[in-house]
A = this chain, B = another copy of it.
Amino acid sequence: LAGLQTEEPNHVSLLLAAPETRFEADTEHLLRRHWGDTRNEAVARPQGPLKGNTSPICGAKASEVLGFKYRSWQSSQPVGSGHQQRRSFSSVSTVSSFRCGDVTLSNGRILEDAELVYEVHGKPNETNSNLVLHPTSFGATHDDLGYRIGPGSEYTLDTDKYCVVVVNMLANGVSSSPYRGYGECYKRISGLSHWPYPSIYDNVLLQARLLEDVFGLSVIGSSDGHTGSSPLALVFGYSMGAMQAYQFAALYPNAVQRLAVVCGAARTSPYNKVFLKSLMTALKTDAHWLEEEERFTGHPMRGLKAFGTIYAGWGLSEEFYRNEEFKQHGSFESLNHFLDDYVDGFTDLDPHNLLAMLATWSVGR
């Protein structure tokens, strides 16, 4: 990640990590390497073990150096309701499609008529120096990320200052995916053998093309150090979005001024893969899974509930449950009440897209 270690004073990076989410090993290694090398003393270094959803960076310093304010789900939305209730937000935005034609992926397979759907909040300034790239995370769409984007300093991404480009990850059901358009009959779906399985890297290559073709940035050609345009003000990603952010900064260090990765790793650890395999296996346990055709013949309600219950054990920390934080943040009376609500958030997701996204996550590069 050369971009993180540059001596140029206009390159600043910011890493946030919540180690109790169990994806810590690779990230902590990078974190230590990075904080050990950082040239910017104004940015606070992490001290002592990190707890829960705390950040290794001092909020005031982050705000001072980066003009960036972290907005936690703890203060912004009730727990477990992410997928069900769409949040209203006041930022003016437009949703557009970027068609890339047939794309040969890094595994040699072809993604036909590839399409990235993206949402733009705010406006680029004259020199394009205020662009923020924000790739989506596992199971999320551009809609789900709107709560942290808006005008004013109470938002993580302030559209008075920044133009935020939220790009839907491939397979999330909005950009090119095994299945788009909820509600269609399961009989019409072709099996997952037709899905070419793009990687994190493939996502990032298309994002670079989008930023070049639509916003006029010099990204792909920036590797020789001559960008010819402003770098991105920030690449910000959570979880799988963080994986894309890492990959983007590693590929195009001169096109990225700041990098913020939250709960993400640069690659997928073996332990993480065991988690992902348990999700895939539980989902395919549903009676609607037709192994020989690699598809579901009907909505796998049981499988999705198992999926959500497994996720509840990995997506939230031991501390979260021990302290019964669901009582404070979500007004849930009991563990089972919370779990039922959390699991419900998974039951209307498309199972083919979930499997496709898990595959991208599991390959992890």
| Residues of chain A whose beta carbon lies under 8 Å from any beta carbon of chain B | 22, 24-25, 269-271, 273-275, 277-278, 281-282, 284-287, 302-303, 305-306, 309-310, 312-314, 318, 321-322, 324, 335, 339
Contact = CB atoms under 8 A, between A and B. Distances in A.
By Cβ-Cβ distance, the 4 closest A-B pairs, closest first, are A287-B287, A270-B321, A271-B321, A282-B306
A335 B282 contact: no
A107 to B, nearest CB: 18
Nearest to A26: B322
Given A22-B318, A278-B310, A306-B306, 20 more contacts: A24-B318, A25-B318, A269-B318, A270-B321, A270-B324, A270-B335, A271-B321, A273-B335, A274-B309, A274-B339, A278-B309, A278-B313, A281-B282, A281-B306, A281-B309, A281-B310, A282-B285, A285-B303, A287-B287, A313-B314
Determine chain A's interface SS by DSSP, over half rule: helix
Given A273-B335, A322-B269, A285 B306 contact: yes
25 contacts: A269-B322, A270-B322, A270-B324, A270-B335, A271-B313, A271-B321, A274-B312, A274-B313, A274-B321, A274-B335, A277-B339, A278-B306, A278-B309, A278-B310, A281-B306, A281-B310, A282-B282, A282-B285, A282-B309, A285-B286, A285-B305, A285-B306, A286-B287, A287-B287, A313-B314
Nearest to A336: B277
B302 A284 contact: yes
A9 to B, nearest CB: 36
Contacts of A321: 269-271, 274
Contacts of A22: 318
Quickly give the copy total for this chain: 2
Contacts of A284: 302, 306
A324 B269 CA distance: 11
A309 B318 CA distance: 20
A26 to B, nearest CB: 9
Contacts of A312: 274, 277-278
A276 to B, nearest CB: 9
A275 B24 CA distance: 20
B269 A281 contact: no
Contacts of A309: 274, 277-278, 281-282
Contacts of A278: 282, 306, 309-310, 312-313
Nearest to A288: B287
| Most B C-beta atoms less than 10 A away, residue of A275, A285, A306, A318 | A285
A318 B285 contact: no
Contacts of A324: 270
Contacts of A322: 25, 269-271
A282 B281 CA distance: 9
B269 A313 contact: no
A8 B353 CA distance: 64
A305 B281 CA distance: 7
Nearest to A317: B271
A286 B275 CA distance: 19
Nearest to A308: B281
A343 to B, nearest CB: 8
A20 to B, nearest CB: 11
A339 B276 CA distance: 12
